[in-house]
């Protein structure tokens, strides 16, 4: 098959693209290498991929001869208050509008990477897909807006869209602004880590290779218009995660406590019943194993000259 992967130079997109290539699919990567974090890291992620530089908020997406679009491009990060909101609107809503419109016109499926952040402080835990969405971050609001936009293009133009709500993916290449990447980096360098709040906030951490498998299964098997949580592996508090990484690395972390951050939810916990029932997918990587893989990947890089 021939797929477009948007955000193909990113943490998740690059590993999705590589997994597709390994299966024998042809991948046309698209990325605009924004400077939300060091674009050199994206160049590194993209080293073995064929990636076109396209700014989806401004340029058309060519879907001639394409069998499906994995739409992972976007402006990430829940701590998104302030003037940066314009970038969230542009890179999430405006870019997705073009992707959905192009896919509807070409009659190809879009698998859209949404986020657990659309639940905000969730109505219930573990959180099923029909819980009321009530995001508490500007980022989450734009992701929810993108989901709604996909519905609108499905209703108005027959778009075949599948929405996936990713729960805090981690593993090799994790974005450097994310907590586990910062912890691993601090352990490797002997630097300090700023913990936002009391560290008892928890996440349904999802190992990236598991999430990539769910994303491919959604393209291949999900009914049109379906919506799934991708998570539900191990829920852990930040203090648990720090303890596990200390054990894995054999080092102790210098934790500096700071105030809680606006936009952060206290807890995420995925109910993954639906994706397991429909697609036969569930998260299988134990947090300790996944963190070991992330530590190994990051510590070698820090040690390298
Ligand atoms: C992450 C991603 O950043 C979002 O792009 C994504 O949409 C979301 O997961 C999701 O999957 O729903 P988050 O869960 O907040 O968002 O992930 P982290 O940025 O790794 O933060 C995890 C926890 O660590 C948060 O409670 C945060 O307050 C804390 N943290 C983060 C710190 O204590 N210190 C830091 O330096 C960074």
Residue 191 lies inside a defined structural domain of this protein: no
The answer to whether residue 163 sits within a structural domain is yes
Residue in the structure block whose two tokens are 């291949």? 220
Among the listed residues 3, 36, 88, 139, the single catalytic one is 139
Instruction: Evaluate whether residue 87 is within a structural domain.
Output: yes
**Residue-wise pLDDT tens digits, 160-191:** 999 999 999 999 999 999 999 999 999 999 99
88 is catalytic: no
In a domain, 12, yes or no: yes
- pLDDT computed for residue 305 by the predictor: 60
On whether residue 90 sits in a domain, the answer given is: yes
Ligand 1 atom closest to 199 (CA): 33
DSSP the chain: -EEEEETTTSHHHHHHHHHHHHHT-EEEEEE---SSS-HHHHHHHTTTS-EEE--TTTS----TT--EEEE--S---S---STTHHHHIIIIIIHHHHHHHHHHHHT-EEEEEEEGGGGSS-SSSSBPTTSPP---SHHHHHHHHHHHHHHHHHHHH---EEEEEE--EESTT--TTSHHHHHHHHHHHT-EEEEETTS--EEEEEEHHHHHHHHHHHHHHPPTT-EEEE--SEEEEHHHHHHHHHHHHT---EEEEEPPPTT--SB--B--HHHHHHH-------HHHHHHHHHHHHHHHHH--
Which CATH number characterizes residue 30's domain? 3.40.50.720
What's the domain count of the chain? 1
Question: Which among 78, 259, 268 is the best mutation to test ligand 1's pocket, defined by most ligand atoms within 8 Å of the CB?
Answer: 78
- Whether 196 and 258 have beta carbons less than 8 Å apart is answered as yes
Who lines ligand 1 at CB under 6 A?
A: 76-78, 115-117, 166-168, 178-180, 182, 194-196, 201, 203, 238, 261, 264
Question: Does 186 reside within a domain?
Answer: no
Residue 126: asked if its preceding bond is cis (omega within 30°), the reply is yes
Per-residue buried b or exposed e for 159-182, using 16+ beta carbons within 10 Å of the residue's own CB: bbbbbbbbbbbbbbbbbeebbbbb
How many other CB atoms sit within 10 Å of the CB of residue 136? 17
| Euclidean distance between CA atoms 36 and 143, whole angstroms | 17
At 63 the pLDDT is 98
pLDDT in single tens digits along all 305 residues of the chain? 999 999 999 999 999 999 999 999 999 999 999 999 999 999 999 999 999 999 999 999 999 999 999 999 999 999 999 999 999 999 999 999 999 999 999 999 999 999 999 999 999 999 999 999 999 999 999 999 999 999 999 999 999 999 999 999 999 999 999 999 999 999 999 999 999 999 999 999 999 999 999 999 999 999 999 999 999 888 999 999 999 999 999 999 999 999 999 999 999 999 999 999 999 999 999 999 999 999 999 999 888 76
Whether residue 178 is contained in a domain is answered as no
Domain extent, residue 103, equals 2-169+206-230
Which residue is associated with the tokens 């058309």?
60
């Amino acid at each position: 098959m021939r797929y477009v992967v948007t955000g193909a130079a990113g943490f998740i997109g690059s590993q999705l693209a590589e997994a597709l290539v390994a299966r024998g699919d042809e991948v046309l990567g698209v990325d605009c290498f924004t400077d939300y974090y060091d674009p050199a890291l994206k160049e590194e992620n993209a080293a073995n991929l064929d990636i076109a530089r396209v700014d989806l908020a401004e340029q058309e997406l060519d879907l001639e001869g394409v069998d499906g679009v994995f739409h992972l491009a976007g402006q990430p990060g829940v701590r998104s208050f302030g003037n940066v909101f314009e970038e969230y609107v542009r890179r999430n809503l405006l870019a997705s509008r073009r992707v959905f419109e192009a896919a509807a016109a070409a009659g190809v499926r879009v698998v859209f990477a949404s986020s657990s952040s659309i639940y905000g402080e969730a109505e219930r835990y573990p959180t099923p897909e029909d819980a009321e969405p009530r995001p508490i971050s500007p980022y989450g609001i734009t992701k929810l807006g993108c989901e709604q936009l996909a519905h609108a293009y499905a209703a108005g133009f027959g778009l075949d869209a599948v929405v996936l709500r990713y729960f805090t993916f981690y593993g090799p290449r994790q974005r450097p602004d994310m907590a586990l990447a910062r912890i691993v980096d601090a352990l490797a360098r002997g630097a300090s880590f700023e913990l936002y709040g009391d560290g008892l906030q928890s996440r349904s951490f999802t190992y990236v290779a598991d999430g990539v498998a769910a994303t491919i299964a959604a393209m291949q098997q999900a009914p049109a218009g379906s919506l799934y949580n991708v998570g539900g592996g191990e829920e852990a508090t930040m203090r648990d995660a720090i303890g596990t990484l200390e054990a894995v690395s054999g080092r102790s972390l210098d934790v500096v406590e700071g105030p809680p951050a606006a936009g952060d939810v206290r807890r995420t916990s995925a109910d993954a019943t639906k994706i397991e029932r429909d697609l036969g997918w569930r998260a299988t990587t134990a947090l300790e194993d996944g963190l070991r893989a992330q530590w190994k990947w990051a510590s070698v890089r820090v040690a390298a000259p």
